[in-house]
A and B are shown apart, each in its own frame.
Chain A
Amino acid sequence: MINVDHGTPLLEVRGLTKSFAGVQALRGVDLEIRPGEVHCVLGQNGAGKSTLIKTLAGAHRPDTGEIVWRGETVTLDHPTEALALGIATMYQELDVVDGLSVAENIFLGHEQATAGVYHRRSANRTARELMTRLGHASIAPTREVGSLSPANKQIVSMARALSHDIRLIIMDEPSAVLDSEEVKNLFRVVRELTAQGIAVVYISHRLEEIREIGDRITVLKDGASVASGLEVADTPTHELIRLMTGRSVENVFPASPGVPSGADVVLEVNDLSLPGVFSDVSFQVRAGEIVGLAGLVGSGRSEILETVYGARKADGGTVRVAGKTLPRASVTAAVEAGIGLSPEERKSQGLLLDEPIYRNVTLSSFQRFAKLSVLDERRERALAREQIDALELRPADPDRRTGTLSGGNQQKIMLARWLVHGTKVLLLDEPTRGVDVGARAEIYALIRRLADAGTAIVVVSSEIEEVLGLADRVLVVAEGSVLATVDADAITEHGVLDLVMKGSAA
Chain B
Amino acid sequence: MSVQEKVDAKGGATENNDRNVLSKVFGGSVGRNLGLVIALALLVVVGAVTAGDRFTNVDNFLTIVRYASVIGVISIGITFVIIAGGIDLSVGSVMGLSTVVASLTAVQAAATQSSWLLMVVVALAVGALAGLINGIVIAYGKVVSFMATLAMLVGARGLAELFSERRTLIVSNRDFLAFFRSDLLGVPILIWMFAVVAVLGWFLLNRTTFGRRTVAIGGNMEAARLAGVKVNRHLVWLYVLSGATAGIAAVMMMGRTTVGTSTHGLLYELDAIAAVVVGGTLLVGGRGTIVGTIFGVLIFSTLTNVFTQNNLSTSVQAVVKGVIIVIAVLLQQRFAARPGGRGGRSKKRNTTPQLDSAAQQQSA
Looking at B208, B212, B339, B342, which has the most chain A CB atoms within 10 Å of its CB?
Answer: B212
Chain B CB within 8 A of A320 CB: no
Chain B CB within 8 A of A419 CB: no
From A45, A311, A367, A399, B225 is in contact (CB under 8 Å) with A311
How many interface residues does A have (CB within 8 Å)?
49
Contacts of B210 in A (CB 8 A): 373
A403 touches B344 (CB 8 A): yes
Contacts of B230 in A (CB 8 A): 332
Chain A CB within 8 A of B106 CB: no
Q: List 9 A-B contacts (CB under 8 A).
A: A25-B1, A348-B220, A352-B223, A354-B344, A355-B216, A355-B219, A364-B228, A375-B207, A401-B342
Chain A CB within 8 A of B241 CB: no
Contacts of A403 in B (CB 8 A): 4, 344, 347
Question: Can you name 14 extra interface pairs (CB under 8 A) apart from A373-B209, A401-B4?
Answer: A48-B1, A50-B351, A59-B354, A79-B354, A348-B222, A348-B223, A349-B226, A363-B216, A364-B228, A370-B208, A374-B207, A399-B8, A403-B344, A404-B4
| Chain A: CB-nearest residue to B203 | A374
- B1-37 interface (Cβ within 8 A of A): 1-6, 8, 12, 14, 16-17
Q: How far is the CB of B163 from chain A (nearest CB, A)?
A: 36
Q: How far is the CB of A224 from chain B (nearest CB, A)?
A: 13
| Chain B: CB-nearest residue to A342 | B226
Q: How far is the CB of A45 from chain B (nearest CB, A)?
A: 7
Chain B CB within 8 A of A313 CB: no
Q: How far is the CB of B107 from chain A (nearest CB, A)?
A: 33
Contact with A along B275-290 (1 / 0, CB 8 A): 0000000000011000
B3 touches A331 (CB 8 A): no
How many interface residues does B have (CB within 8 Å)?
43
Contact with A along B246-285 (1 / 0, CB 8 A): 0000000000000000000000000000000000000000
Contacts of A275 in B (CB 8 A): none
* Complex Cα–Cα for A354 and B223 (A): 12
From A374, A400, A404, B208 is in contact (CB under 8 Å) with A374
- A85-133 interface (Cβ within 8 A of B): 95
3 closest A-B pairs by CB: A335-B228, A352-B219, A363-B227
From A23, A54, A355, B5 is in contact (CB under 8 Å) with A23
B219 touches A331 (CB 8 A): no
Kindly count the residue-residue contacts between A and B in the assembled complex, taking CB atoms under 8 Å apart: 121
Contacts of A348 in B (CB 8 A): 220, 222-223
Chain A CB within 8 A of B355 CB: yes
Q: How far is the CB of A79 from chain B (nearest CB, A)?
A: 7
Chain A CB within 8 A of B188 CB: no
Chain B CB within 8 A of A343 CB: yes
From A343, A366, A367, A399, B226 is in contact (CB under 8 Å) with A343
- A348-376 interface (Cβ within 8 A of B): 348-356, 359, 363-364, 366-367, 370, 373-375
* Complex Cα–Cα for A349 and B223 (A): 4
A21 touches B339 (CB 8 A): yes
Contacts of B225 in A (CB 8 A): 311, 331
| Chain B: CB-nearest residue to A345 | B222
Q: How far is the CB of A175 from chain B (nearest CB, A)?
A: 20
Chain A CB within 8 A of B173 CB: no
B2 touches A23 (CB 8 A): yes
Chain A CB within 8 A of B329 CB: no
| Chain A: CB-nearest residue to B16 | A377
B6 touches A21 (CB 8 A): yes
Looking at B209, B287, B342, which has the most chain A CB atoms within 10 Å of its CB?
Answer: B209
Contacts of B350 in A (CB 8 A): 20-21
* Complex Cα–Cα for A23 and B4 (A): 8
Chain A CB within 8 A of B352 CB: yes
A23 touches B3 (CB 8 A): yes
A residues sitting closer than 8 Å to B (CB atoms) are: 20-23, 25, 45-46, 48, 50-51, 54, 59, 79, 95, 309, 311, 331-332, 334-336, 341, 343, 348-356, 359, 363-364, 366-367, 370, 373-375, 377, 399-401, 403-404, 406, 417
B223 touches A399 (CB 8 A): no
* Complex Cα–Cα for A25 and B350 (A): 12
Query: Given A46-B2, A354-B287, is A375 in contact with B209 using a C-beta cutoff of 8 Å?
Result: yes
| Chain A: CB-nearest residue to B338 | A21
* Complex Cα–Cα for A95 and B351 (A): 15
A25 touches B2 (CB 8 A): yes
| Chain B: CB-nearest residue to A367 | B209
* Complex Cα–Cα for A375 and B228 (A): 17
Query: Given A21-B6, A354-B343, is A363 in contact with B224 using a C-beta cutoff of 8 Å?
Result: yes
Query: Given A59-B354, A403-B347, is A353 in contact with B220 using a C-beta cutoff of 8 Å?
Result: yes
B222 touches A349 (CB 8 A): yes
Query: Given A23-B6, A354-B344, is A311 in contact with B226 using a C-beta cutoff of 8 Å?
Result: yes
From B1, B5, B17, B286, A352 is in contact (CB under 8 Å) with B286
A363 touches B223 (CB 8 A): yes
* Complex Cα–Cα for A403 and B16 (A): 20
| Chain B: CB-nearest residue to A51 | B1
* Complex Cα–Cα for A334 and B286 (A): 26
* Complex Cα–Cα for A364 and B213 (A): 10
Query: Given A370-B209, A404-B4, A404-B5, is A354 in contact with B226 using a C-beta cutoff of 8 Å?
Result: no
A21 touches B344 (CB 8 A): no
Chain A CB within 8 A of B190 CB: no
Chain A CB within 8 A of B132 CB: no
Contacts of B207 in A (CB 8 A): 374-375
| Chain B: CB-nearest residue to A343 | B226
* Complex Cα–Cα for A336 and B230 (A): 12
Contacts of A343 in B (CB 8 A): 226
Looking at A95, A311, A363, which has the most chain B CB atoms within 10 Å of its CB?
Answer: A363
Contacts of B17 in A (CB 8 A): 399
A364 touches B227 (CB 8 A): yes
Contacts of A349 in B (CB 8 A): 220, 222-223, 226
* Complex Cα–Cα for A354 and B287 (A): 8
